[in-house]
Structure 1
Amino acid sequence: MQERAEATRRAVLAAAAVLFEQHGYVGTSISDVARTSGYTSGAIYFHFGSKEGLAEAVYDAHFAEWPRLVERWNSLGGPVLERLVGLSLAVAREFRDNVIVRAGNRLSNESRSISTELPKPFVGWISTCTQLLAAAQENGELAPGTDVERAAHVVVASFSGTHTLSDALNNRRHVEQAVVDLWTLLLPGLQASPDPGGCLERAHSLLDRPPAPRAPSPGR
């Protein structure tokens, strides 16, 4: 019974993400989600309570995509700046390819139309970026005098603007190249020994490397 309920939630969430991403919050109704998902409006209200609850669930699913990426890039060896660049490229791919991520982004942009309080965007990414830049600074990778917190804000703001422009101009088709162009401009000011081309090349090699398998749980 529980598995069936989870399957229903996943199917409704997937259908809602497609509609929210295409039509926005105001342009999507519970009836639209019911028709697209194949479940009744009553089932949707049972699982999510309201249209606001459904939007909040999609937004939460958007945020749930990030810990696995951050964990993967934090666990890799090598220079920290290369891992930060690789993480940003991985995030760009998610915005391009993952409808849950795209839907959450659109809901964030339309949050004033949603009568429930959604988590504040960007705060987590600024924190993650600050931590990575601080580690890079400890490794001697950053230019002397770099203000880590200010640099993190600039990186996140620049990435957000790059993504927004790519979305508006070509529906994110070229967002990965746009992020490469961004780092080509930012890295000479961040690196102690500027080598943006080498850093980007090595970050791409990490990006395309298959994730390491998880260690088995004790006792298995």
Structure 2
Amino acid sequence: MQERAEATRQAVLAAAAVLFEQHGYAGTSISDVARRSGYTSGAIYFHFGSKEGLAASVFEAHFGEWPRLVETWTSLDGPVLDRLVGLSLAVAREFRDNVIVRAGNRLSNESKSIPAELPQPFVGWIETVAQLLESARENGELAPETDTERAARVIVAGFFGTHTVSDALDDRRHVEQAVTDLWLFLLPALQAAPDPHGCLDRARTLLGQSL
């Protein structure tokens, strides 16, 4: 019984994610989700309570994708900045290919119009990047004058800004190249011994190995 209920929740979440990503919060109704998922509106209300509850669950599922990736990339061997760049490329692929992530991103952009308490975006990423930069400093990889907190905010702002522009221009089809271009500008200022192309090449190798 519990497995059946969880299967229903996941099927409804998947259907809702597609619709939220395509039409936004205001443009999606419970009846739309019911038609796409094949479950009744009553079943959806039973599991999620309301449209805002459903949106909050999609948003939470979006956030739930990141701990696995962060753990994978922080536990790898090799230079810390290589792993930070590799993590950013892996996240870029999720934003391009994972509908839950894409839906969560759109809901985040529309959060002021959603009458539900949603997790605060970006804060977790800023903390993660700052921690990785501190590890890079300890490893002798980081330019000594780098303020890791400020650098983390710049990196996260640049990363998500790159996604916004890529989404608007080409539906993120070339987002990995856009993120690569971002790092080519940032790495010379971050690395103790600047070698942005070498760092990106090693990060791509790690990315291929992590698939």
Q: TM-score range by the shorter chain?
A: over 0.9
Task: Kindly indicate whether residue 144 of structure 2 is the aligned counterpart of residue 147 of structure 1.
Answer: no
Q: Report the equivalent of 1:37.
A: 37
TM-superposition CA deviations, 1:76-103 (whole Å, max 9, x none): 0110000000000000000000000000
Shift of 1:205: 0.2
Amino acid of the residue matched to residue 12 of structure 1? Answer: V
Q: Report the equivalent of 2:82.
A: 82
Amino acid of the residue matched to residue 173 of structure 2? Answer: R
Shift of 1:188: 0.3
How large is the RMSD of aligned CA atoms in angstroms? 0.6
TM-superposition CA deviations, 1:89-125 (whole Å, max 9, x none): 0000000000000000000000011101111100000
SS of the aligned residue for 2:119 comes to coil
The whole-number CA distance in structure 2 between the counterparts of 1:72 and 1:117 is 29
Q: Report the equivalent of 2:50.
A: 50
TM-superposition CA deviations, 1:140-190 (whole Å, max 9, x none): 101121101000000000001100000000000000000000000100000
Instruction: Find runs of 4+ consecutive structure 1 residues off by over 3 angstroms.
Output: none
The whole-number CA distance in structure 2 between the counterparts of 1:104 and 1:54 is 11
SS of the aligned residue for 1:25 comes to coil
The whole-number CA distance in structure 2 between the counterparts of 1:67 and 1:117 is 21
Which segments of 5 or more consecutive residues in structure 2 lack a partner in the other structure?
none
Q: Report the equivalent of 1:128.
A: 128
Please, what TM-score do these two structures have when normalized by structure 2?
Answer: 0.99
Aligned residues: 211
Show the 5 A alignment for 1:1-220: 1-210=1-210
The whole-number CA distance in structure 2 between the counterparts of 1:2 and 1:78 is 42
The whole-number CA distance in structure 1 between the counterparts of 2:127 and 2:65 is 16
SS of the aligned residue for 1:142 comes to coil
Shift of 1:20: 0.1
The whole-number CA distance in structure 2 between the counterparts of 1:161 and 1:52 is 26
Shift of 1:210: 3.6
The whole-number CA distance in structure 2 between the counterparts of 1:36 and 1:27 is 14
Which segments of 5 or more consecutive residues in structure 1 lack a partner in the other structure?
212-220
The whole-number CA distance in structure 2 between the counterparts of 1:210 and 1:90 is 9
Q: Report the equivalent of 1:218.
A: none
**How high is the sequence identity, in percent, across the aligned residues?**
79
SS of the aligned residue for 1:121 comes to coil
Amino acid of the residue matched to residue 177 of structure 1? Answer: Q
Q: Which has the higher helix share?
A: 2
SS of the aligned residue for 2:209 comes to coil
